[in-house]
Structure 1
Amino acid sequence: MDSGVICEEGRVTRLDLSEAGIDGRLDNSSSLFNLQHLKSLDLSYNYFNSTIPSRIGDLTNLSYLNLANAGFSLVTLDLSSDRMLEGTNLVIPNLSVLVQNLSKLQELRLDGSNILAPWNRWCQALSSSLPNLRVLSLSHCYVPGRLGESLVKLQSLSVVDLGGTNLSSPVPQSFAKFSNLTLLNLPGCGLQGTFP
């Protein structure tokens, strides 16, 4: 990507602020979020020391976003897609790589995604990388294999949505050990057997 500001027809479409020495907070009041034609944004290798502003979602034309080593604290990651819209579902080949540096993450929503790792592998990835996870939403995901018991290590979980995932496996006895669970959504998930 070219560095600096790139304009097309008088509109900013690319902004590269990587390694710009920015030290401070980025919040929802930033004029950055008024750049409605922005397609590419690189904020890598700065120190923002804040959470990722929710208004990042206002940049609806954005197709490239680089926040590597930018000092952001990520607490919610929502990469859900609508499985009813052909070609919109996210394919996640390696969930371990996606979550490995997100130890502060509290909400993970991957509804409608294709997670290529088997259930037991992604359960292990979540339990070893996301100790503070409170919300896990994987409704209508395609994930091969059976649900892993290592998910029970996520003792902060209060919401689990596995509806429509076609698990086709026995109900894990570990579900009885989630002491903070307030919502468990499992319609059409294919779990079999007696619920603990």
Structure 2
Amino acid sequence: MRTIGGLWRWRHNPLRRTTDLVEAWVALSALLLILVVAPVAGSLVGAAAQDALQQSVREQRASRHHVTATVVRRLDGSLLEADPESSSGRDARTRVVADWTAPDGTARHGTVLAGLKAPRPGDHFPIWTDTHGRLVARPLDSATATTHAVLAGFGAALFTAGVVEGGRRLIVWRMVRRRYARWDQAWDRAGPDWGRTGTGC
């Protein structure tokens, strides 16, 4: 609103310089671009991210399998760790040696993180594997993918608004520098006679 008020104020003002009007139009154009282009850019980026992430969710669900592993033994000196893949990031996990059967039927044996606070031999716990039984991270869920897409869209809108505002500031900065340069030239022309008695008489 200040920009529109500034344009109206400069419209018939006798003290108005051309640069004042240009500066006001640049500010109004930047405001309109931020209000129109930034949301459109955010929507487009968010939609593209949503499509890509939901496709990734479908692919991960198809290629990753939830299987049950059996604790063979707890590793000596194993510490409780936070599971980085959990939604809260606070689920306790312990490093154990375990056996499991891959979706293709092959037997597997190895060191894994068990979601058990005090694992004992024979305890069962779920893990995620690929078709051949190799350990993989849990698949991305749809809600998390949507959250990431929304954040990507919001970030794109903010970036667009920042670029527009940066462009506006750069244009105004160049205009002000040009104005100061013209003032310096005018002062240089008037400088030698400034303050002398009888000058201009």
Q: Identify whether the pair has TM-score above 0.5, normalized to the shorter chain.
A: no
* TM-score normalised by L of structure 2: 0.16
Structure number with greater CO (CA < 8 Å, separation at least 6) is: 2
- Structure whose alpha-carbon radius of gyration is higher: 2
Q: Which has the higher helix share?
A: 2
